[in-house]
Structure 1
Amino acid sequence: MRIKVTILLAKSGTNITMTWRLIAGILFGCLIITNVFWWWRSKSSVIDTESIKEWQRPQSPSTIDRTGTSTQTLEMVTDMLNCRQEDLPEEVEQLDNRIRELNKSIDQTRQRWIDAWWSARKENPPTESEFVIDVIFTSGNFDDIEQLASSAIHQENVILLAGILDDGKFAVGVSSNLSENYAAVNIAKRIAELGEGGAGGTDQLATGGGLTRTELQEAMKQLKENINNNGIN
C-alpha cells in the first residue's frame, strides 16, 4: 500500500509541478504585456500643455534610450500576440481569462489528487500510535503541500508533515481534535529550529522554510518519531 501511495504522489506531483511552471510562464508574459500596454496608453493619451512642453525640451541620451527600449518591447509583445497595438487591451483581457481558467483547473486537479491520497491511505490505516504522516517531495509547488497539510484539519487523529527538499519549505496540518495538545505552529517551529529556518501559523496549520535538504529531511523524521513515541515536550 505504501508503494501505491508513493507512486500516486510521484505522478501527481510531477503533473502539478509541470502545470505550475506553465502558469508561471504565462503569468510572467501577462505582466510584461500589461505593463507595456499601460505605458503605451499613457504615452498616447498625454495631450495636456505641460506634457507637450516637456516633450519639446531637449532629452538626455538616457531618456531616449529608455523610450527606444520601451518601443521595442511593445513591438515585441504585439508580435508575440500577433495583434495591433490598439488591440492589446482585448488581448490582455483574453489572456487574463485563460489564466483564471487554468488556475481553476489546477485547484480542481489538486483537490482530486488530495482526495485520492486520503482514500488510498484509508485503505490501509496506520496503528493508533502512528498518527504522524510525513510526505516528502524532491521538488514541487508550495501551494500543493500547503493544501495537502490543510486537508488534515478535517481528518481525525492526524498530524501531517509535508515538505519540498529542493526549496527547503514545509507545511504542518493538525486535525481539529488534536490541535489543542499538538499545535501545528509549535511543531513547525520545532522543525525550523532543527535547522536554520523559520516558521509560523496557527494551531491547525503552519508553514516554514529556510532549511537545507538534509536539515528538512532529518527534522521531519525526528519530529515524526518524537511525536509518535513521546508527544511534543
Structure 2
Amino acid sequence: MNNRLLTVVSGIALAGTTLYWRRREQVVKGSLTASRDWETNATSETERADRRSAREAAEVLDTRVADLPERVASLDEERRDLRRELDAVRERWADALWRAHAEADPASESDDLPVFVVEFESGELPDARAFAKRALDKDAITLVAAHGDGSYAVAVGEELSEAFDASDIADDLADAVGGGAGGNERLAAGGGATGALGDGCRRIRERLTQSDAARIAG
C-alpha cells in the first residue's frame, strides 16, 4: 500500500476509534454528573428538592433511588476503566500512525534539520501529546496540530535537545496562534489556539530551519 495512503487510512481509523471511546466516556460522564447532582442535593434543607433530584438521577441512570449510591460508585469505576482503555487505544494508534508517517518520509524541506508538521483534523490534545511522545524516538523536531480542540504538541529528538527546547518552540507557537503552552525541553504541549494552527506550525518550521541553531545542529 502506498505510504501516504496508509497514513490517511490510519488517520481515519484513529479518528473513528477515538470518537467511539469518547462517546462512551461522555455517556458515562453525563450519568455520573447526574448522580453526583443528586448526592449534592440530597444534603440540602429542602426535602422536596431532594426527592425531585433523586427521582431525576434515578431516571437518568435507570435505577431505583435506593440504589443510587451504589450506582455512583459503579459509574466511577466504569469511567476510570474507559479512560484507561481510551489511553491504550490512543497509544496503539499513535504508534501505528508514527510508523506510517515515518515511512512516507516527511514534511521537512530541509536536509539539515528534519522538522515534521503533522495535522489531525478531528484530533484533540491527548491525541497530539500521544503522537508527539511517540515522535521522541526520532532525531527530529515534530510539531503536531490537533484541530479538534485547537491544541498542539512539540517533540524534540534527544540529539537535537541541546540546541532546541520543546517548551520554547511551543511558546513561540502559542505566540503565533494564540493560547498557552508548557512542558519541558523534550516534550511540550498547548491549547486554546485562536489562529490558523496548521499555518502557524509551518511558519514555526520555516523559522526553525533557518535559525542559527539549525546551522549549528546541521
State the TM-score, normalizing by the size of structure 2.
0.82
Do 1:156 and 1:177's aligned partners in 2 also have CA atoms closer than 8 Å?
no
Q: How does 1:83-232 map to 2 (within 5 A)?
A: 83-126=63-106, 128-129=111-112, 131-153=114-136, 155-214=137-196, 216-230=197-211
Deviation (angstroms), 1:20: 1.4
Q: 1:164 to 1:171 in 2, by over 3 A?
A: same
> In structure 1, how many angstroms separate the alpha carbons of the residues matched to 2:77 and 2:144?
32
- Match of 1:194, SS state, is helix
Q: 1:228 to 1:21 in 2, by over 3 A?
A: farther
Deviation (angstroms), 1:205: 1.3
Amino acid at match of 2:116: I
Between structure 1 and structure 2, the one with the greater Rg is 1
> In structure 2, how many angstroms separate the alpha carbons of the residues matched to 1:135 and 1:141?
13
What is the count of residue pairs matched by the alignment? 209
Amino acid at match of 1:117: L
> In structure 2, how many angstroms separate the alpha carbons of the residues matched to 1:231 and 1:9?
34
Deviation (angstroms), 1:188: 0.8
Deviation (angstroms), 1:144: 1.2
Do 1:161 and 1:171's aligned partners in 2 also have CA atoms closer than 8 Å?
yes
Structure 2 regions of 5+ residues with no counterpart?
none
Structure 1 regions of 5+ residues with no counterpart?
44-62
Q: 1:157 to 1:19 in 2, by over 3 A?
A: same
> In structure 1, how many angstroms separate the alpha carbons of the residues matched to 2:10 and 2:143?
17
Deviation larger for 175-184 or 223-232? 223-232
> In structure 1, how many angstroms separate the alpha carbons of the residues matched to 2:12 and 2:58?
39
1:36 is the counterpart of 2:18: no
Deviation larger for 221-230 or 144-153? 221-230
What do residues 85-129 of structure 1 show as CA deviations (whole Å, max 9, x unaligned)?
A: 221122122222222221121111111101112222343444853
Q: Which residue matches 1:55?
A: none
Q: How does 1:28-67 map to 2 (within 5 A)?
A: 28-37=30-39, 39-40=41-42, 42=43, 67=47
Amino acid at match of 1:133: F
> In structure 2, how many angstroms separate the alpha carbons of the residues matched to 1:231 and 1:167?
33
Deviation (angstroms), 1:232: 5.2
> In structure 1, how many angstroms separate the alpha carbons of the residues matched to 2:194 and 2:92?
30
- Match of 1:212, SS state, is coil
Deviation (angstroms), 1:80: 2.6
> In structure 1, how many angstroms separate the alpha carbons of the residues matched to 2:159 and 2:191?
26
Q: 1:136 to 1:123 in 2, by over 3 A?
A: closer
- Match of 2:177, SS state, is coil
